[in-house]
Structure 1
């Protein structure tokens, strides 16, 4: 019976102490968001999803062929790719290219939030 009482006291104490380890002090649960850049992250999405309509000389729409043009229009781009697919302003047109994935849209949004580094 004494063995049971000692075990019943030691087990909860061990759990509490393991969560109070000094190695965890000072560490934060905050994880810094990945830095998004135009060249590495945004340009491939734009090139894949907006070609040829927004890429001169074939493109007849607002050009998105470089950093400056995409940066200037990022708010409109994000708004259009977030529309319901049956909205006539949705981009890219369903009959031409697949819709951007949630992850791709998140990259565009995060890039905008990070002040659009090149």
Structure 2
């Protein structure tokens, strides 16, 4: 009898957790479906994940300081953030910044697919 009561208590809780998790996944996917722009969506990602190495005057690597630079390098950026973290070409380096999560990578990919609006 105790097992039945316990099961009846746990079952609704489990259903709530499952639904909450799927709602979060849907929200991430929906945010990528909108029309993206460099200034609103891409620039914050670059500023957060690529500074100071790619932003002059401190940055000594390929500059990613403006729309033109990012647009010219978007294929390389996407390729490098998708590499395994153990790959020496992976960006951003583990010891500098945290890796971009799947949602942020999806935003970069979607922006490229939308012909990189400013």
What range describes the TM-score normalised by the shorter chain of this pair? 0.7 to 0.9
Counterpart for residue 37 of structure 2: 37
Deviation of 1:60 (Å) = 0.5
- Which residue of structure 1 lines up, in the alignment, with residue 61 of structure 2? 61
Q: TM-score, normalised by structure 2?
A: 0.73
1:91 match: 91
Aligned to 1:102: 102
Give the CA deviation at 1:112.
0.0
Deviating 4+ runs (over 4 angstroms): none
TM-score, normalization: structure 1?
Answer: 0.73
Distance 1:63 1:90 in 2: 17
SS state of the match for residue 106, structure 1? helix
Q: How many residues matched? A: 88
Gaps of 5+ in 2: 1-29
More helix by percentage: 2
